Chains A and B, each alone.
Chain A
């Protein structure tokens, strides 16, 4: 069964450093998402991406964040200058077409020291 994959599974970085989180969505899916979950809290939407552009973003997704689909398979989230409060589990999700099921990847646990 096709799955969303994410790398790395864990990332530790120093405050102020740039990180890139990578995702490979399910191959025939057209919509891509990043969500985050701070430990013990609910899942929060960051950004949605369709047709090579951002279709929606939340107030969390400020200028420090960016997304890219550099080729036909990868989808990346970049945090330019990490802050302590960016520590969280970051989930990538993909969806085949509008208003269908979003399938989540296993997540990248980011720890900012």
Chain B
């Protein structure tokens, strides 16, 4: 079953913050976040393993609440280059580590 992402779309001005949420009804082993620009491949941002860890990368960070099976991606002081569609991919710990992706959140950062 695919994870549910919210919001579907968000428009920011440069320098503003945003939070993107991803929730699953299934127990998860890990959550993977990717950003995809139009016509390009998804680019890996970060992976969060079960255990409720929080990771950060520059001004982008994420958390994973194992009890709620929810992950959130935090973008602070957004830059124009942050524009794109953000997907969360969930891994239920299957043998093949398949990722099931949400519908995506379209983020637009304007000057």
Contacts and interface: CB of A to CB of B under 8 A. Distances in A.
Interface of A: 31, 33, 35, 41-45, 48, 50, 55-56, 58, 91, 95, 98-107
Given A99-B29, A106-B41, A107-B41, A43 B101 contact: yes
Given A42-B2, A99-B49, A100-B47, A105 B99 contact: no
10 contacts: A33-B98, A42-B101, A44-B101, A50-B96, A100-B47, A102-B99, A103-B44, A104-B41, A104-B42, A104-B43
Contact of B95 (A35, A41, A45, A55): A55
Contacts, number: 64
Nearest to B46: A101
A101 B102 CA distance: 17
B64 interface: no
Main secondary structure of the interface of A (DSSP, over half): strand
B96 to A, nearest CB: 3
Main secondary structure of the interface of B (DSSP, over half): loop
Contacts of A50: 95-96
A101 B32 contact: yes
B103 A42 contact: yes
B42 A99 contact: no
Interface string B55-79: 0000000000000000000000000
Contacts of B101: 42-45
